[in-house]
Structure formats: structure tokens, C-alpha cells
A = this chain, B = another copy of it.
Amino acid sequence: MTRLYNAPADFADEATDGFVAANGRWVRKVHGGVARSTTSPEGTVALVIGGGSGHYPAFGGLVGYGLAAGAAMGNLFASPSAQQVAAVARASEHGGGVLLSYGNYAGDVLNFDAAARALEADGIAVRTVRVTDDVTSAPADRAHERRGIAGDLCVFKVAGAAAERGDDLDAVTAIADRVNARTRSFGVAFSGCSLPGADEPLFEVPEGRMAVGMGIHGERGIDETDVPTADELASLLVARLLDELPSGVTAAGARVVPILNGLGSVKYEELFVVYRSVQRLLADAGVVIVEPEVGELVTSFDMAGVSLTLFWLDDELEELWAAPADAPAYRKGGAVPQERVAESVLDADAAPDAVGPAADESRAAASTIAAGLATVRAVVDEHADELGRIDAIAGDGDHGIGMQRGSHAAEAAAADAVARGAGVGTVLRIAGDAWSDKAGGTSGAIWGAALEALGRVLGDDARPAAATVAQAVGAAAEAVRAFGATVGDKTMVDALVPFDEVLRSRIDEGVPLAEAWRAAASAAQEAADRTAELLPRKGRARTHAEHAVGSPDPGAVSFALIVAAVSP
């Protein structure tokens, strides 16, 4: 929802004022919108774009060199008036005529057409290209009725580059028409948005559902489904767009610009996860990807939604797409040309640690350890959601995922090391390194240090005796305490310390290892239960100090689960 505003009726005007204040390097305020604050060669075509407010960077953010000469910025989701469009065009044109380009919506058509008549009455040559890329808004045989969404950017960018190149008005218009004919978009939405001051949303999508084909003003879509996975969404979007190629285009070998556009509150990391699949699916179809865009280009306030655009290039359009542009929200081409590193520069992954000689008994114990780490991984997977839930309240919310990433990596690294003939000490050190490497965060570093300490004491020379195991656990407890937490800090240490003490005393008493371990594990379980009781239950209880190592987390709980699951 829109939260920050003054008088709702002033919102659009105040947003324009702030936009100009922040971006005076590119734009200046004119009646009804903005024009470039930089000069353009006399006699070149002025591309004038526009539409309602609420879609930034459309439309003002796309005014600058290589893009638009001016943008008419209307009220929220409402077309600019004919007077505003005409005023922006008069302030933007510089002798080469005006190309009006905008998304195909009735209010915009009404007002831009009226503005065109007024400009022509003034003797200014005017052409119009309406963007119609949204394939869900009308069937292919009525493509001219379709709405314009993120395909706007393709038409504006290429037309702007053609104008910058010096093409005349008819040539720029023809190129803009060609881009529009070769651009298709398909969007989905997960939530609506509320306009400033509105006490209910302009439109809604039920929680957990996805409106397929919903427009950027909430226009009804063509279907509603459950929210799919990122990969499933990528398949849906790509399949539909590959289903309607521009005439004369075949996917295999075609060169295309994909634009994965976020509508507001679907954020960059999610877009990247979806794009990862989009580019694979396009590559599978034999499509050659050219300078893609993944980000927020045509938005709908904070609406949660995504659209995929495919812009099918030809040689001239590719050259114009790649041409330099410099606008507040869109830039291509840096001031200092860069040279790519040689293809031979590859991923810097280190080679696996070398595996030294080991006694057969130690190798045998290593297999037991590897099996134990597989059990650890299974236990962590089983409880990952629960651990994440507890941590979302007590800590950073990443404990479940962190333990999963670590235990999965440790299992794989241990299995690999065993296959390479490593002894128990080496297997534990390699597993610990893999755990901390992949888990990251504080708990990853702690588990890595603990496994490394176990391995250091157990070594590769013999089957570990009970006393050695107790000594190794003591060393691991030492390594963990070295991170600074002590009993009572509500961390793994709360359970690790009693485990260590009970294990050692039982083994000193001559109790067999397995039995001693069980006793130690139940001591750890009791301690973990007490700690869990003390963890914050709701709200955000953490102070900045609690962010220090030792921040309350479910480490004691996961530790107890693990030592209960594995037994020598």
C-alpha cells in the first residue's frame, strides 16, 4: 500500500517535483511533465512519451540522451491531459517533429490524440505509435487493441536511439512500429496496490494465488492459479511467449532481448531466481539472448507482480538497442570503455584438499563418520522448518537454512573424502571446511570449527578409542566456546557443555562409549529444552548487542537433535 504522501490529490504533482529535484542532471520541469535538461541537435526528432503516474521509471525516468525528449506525467493511473501532453511536446521538440509513444489505454489515446491535433494546428509534425505488447489483453488477431506494459521500454529505447542517430520523423515512426510488432509481454500478479489515501486496495489477489494476465492497473486477467515455484512461473511465461512469435521469426537462432520486469514488491533476488530459469528455457529453444534487463522498468506502485517481455531483434534493432542511453532510470554504455577478461579466466574454486595416508581402521571409522553426517543431514532436513521458525523469532531466521546448507555440504564432502581414502580425522576436517564454507553466517563458522577440532584430535592413524572421542569432543567444545558465547547465552553452548561434561565423566567411569554418548545426548536434550523455553517467543526482542556472537538462536536445539540422532 502507498503510505507516504501529504494531500492525496497533490501526490502526483509532489512526486514530479521531487523527481525533478533529484534528477536535474537529466530533466527539467515543464507544464504537465518533464523535458530534457540537456540540449539536443536542432532538427532531430523529439520522442515524447507519457501516461499516468505510479509506473516509475515509466515515464519520467526514461527521459534523457538516447531515450525520450520529454514525458507527460498524468495523475495516478490517469492519463495526462491533452494540454499537458501538448505543453511537454512544445517544450521538447527541436525542429524535427514529435513522435508520441505511449501504452494503449483509452484515456491516453483520447488525450494524446487531442494533443496531436493541437500540435499539428501549431504546424508541428506529429506521429503516434501506441505500444501493444500485452498478449493477454486481446487475441493476436486484434493485437492493435492490446494494452502496453513493459514493452514500452523496447519501443522507447530503440525509437530514441533512431532519433539520436538523426533519422527523420517517418523513419523513427517506422522503426518504433517495427519494434512494437516484434515485442510481446506476459504478466502475472500476486497482490494489488492502494492509491494514496485510499482505505482499501484498488484491487486484490487472494493470498497464495496468482492472477495470470492481470494488467498494471488491475485489469482483469485470463486465469487465476496458486502461486507456482519460480521455475514453474518461468516455464509459464516463456511457453506463452514462444507460442506467439512475430511473423517471419523462428525461435531457433533468433536474437532476443528478454526483459523480466518487477511490478513493485516482487524483489530483485526473486526476479533473478526466475530469470535463471528464463534464460535456460530460452537457450533450450535455441534463442540467442542479447543484453537482457532484469529489474523494475514499468511498475504499478508496490503491486507484487512480474512480467516477461521478449523483444525479437533484427540487425538494425539490435544496433539501436545497444546504443548509448543516459536517463535518470535507464543507462547504457559507460564513460570509460571496458575490456572483458579472457574467457580462460574461470571459476576460482579451490581444488579439493589433498588426502594424506591413513590407517585402515581410521578409514573404517571415516565411513562411519560419513554415514553419521548423512544422518545429521537427514535430521536437519526433517527439522529445518521448525528451526527456521524458532530463529525467525529469536534470531535472524536463517538457522534452518544455514544448518541445511552446511550439513548437505558436509555430507557430500565427507563421502567424497572417504572415496578418496581419507582417514577419520581428514574426513572431519574436510567436512567441517565444507560446512562453514557453504553455511556461512556465525553458526556455519562454529560448526566448521567444531568438526575441524574433532578431526584434529582423532587423526588418521587409528580407530578412535572412547577416551580419544571424549578428548575430541572436549576440543570441539573448546573451539566453539572460543567464539565467545558461554552457558546461559541461549546458544548451542548451553547444550554442548553439559554434553561434553557428561560424556567425559561417564567415559572416565568406564562406561562404554555408546552408552556414555546416550547419557550425554539426553543431558544435552534437557539443557536444550530449558534454553528453548527461554528463547524470545514473539516480537523482535533483540538489541544490537544481541547481534554479537552469542545472539540467541536455536543452536542448542539443533545440537541436541543431532547428538541424539548419531551414536558411535
Contacts and interface: CB of A to CB of B under 8 A. Distances in A.
Copies in the complex: 2
A130 to B, nearest CB: 13
A355 interface: no
25 contacts: A5-B229, A6-B229, A6-B230, A11-B401, A18-B279, A18-B294, A23-B294, A25-B291, A30-B349, A36-B341, A52-B441, A53-B269, A56-B268, A77-B397, A78-B402, A83-B436, A106-B551, A145-B544, A195-B392, A198-B389, A203-B540, A217-B396, A220-B543, A265-B265, A326-B334
A529 interface: no
Interface stretch (A150-158, A238-246, A296-304, A520-528): A296-304
Interface in A1-22: 2-6, 8-9, 11-12, 14-19, 21-22
A478 interface: no
Contacts of A441: 52, 74-75, 78-79, 81, 107, 111
Nearest to A23: B294
A215 B544 CA distance: 9
A15 B396 contact: no
A63 interface: no
A273 interface: yes
Interface in A74-92: 74-84, 87-88, 90-91
Chain A interface size band reads: 35 or more
B79 A3 contact: no
B333 A37 contact: no
A347 to B, nearest CB: 6
A441 B404 CA distance: 53
A395 to B, nearest CB: 10
B198 A267 contact: no
A147 B544 contact: yes
A38 interface: yes
A547 interface: yes
B331 A83 contact: no
A542 interface: yes
A276 interface: yes
Contacts of A559: none
A276 B38 contact: no
Interface in A420-463: 433, 436-442, 444-445, 448
A440 B79 contact: yes
Given A18-B276, A81-B437, A340-B37, A442 B110 contact: yes
Contacts of A384: 9
A400 to B, nearest CB: 8
Contacts of A382: none
Given A15-B273, A273-B5, A334-B326, A302 B75 contact: no
A306 interface: yes
A230 B14 contact: yes
Given A270-B3, A445-B114, A405 B306 contact: no
| A198, A200, A331, A334: most-surrounded residue (chain B CB, <10 A) | A334
A190 interface: yes
A199 interface: yes
Contacts of A80: 440
B11 A269 contact: yes
A453 to B, nearest CB: 15
A52 B404 CA distance: 16
Nearest to A404: B9
Given A5-B230, A110-B445, A81 B436 contact: yes
A481 interface: no
A389 B194 CA distance: 11
A104 to B, nearest CB: 10
A166 interface: no
A445 B18 contact: no
Given A339-B39, A437-B83, A6 B273 contact: yes
A6 B231 contact: yes
B440 A111 contact: yes
Q: Which 4 A-B pairs have the closest CB atoms?
A: A18-B272, A326-B334, A333-B335, A18-B276
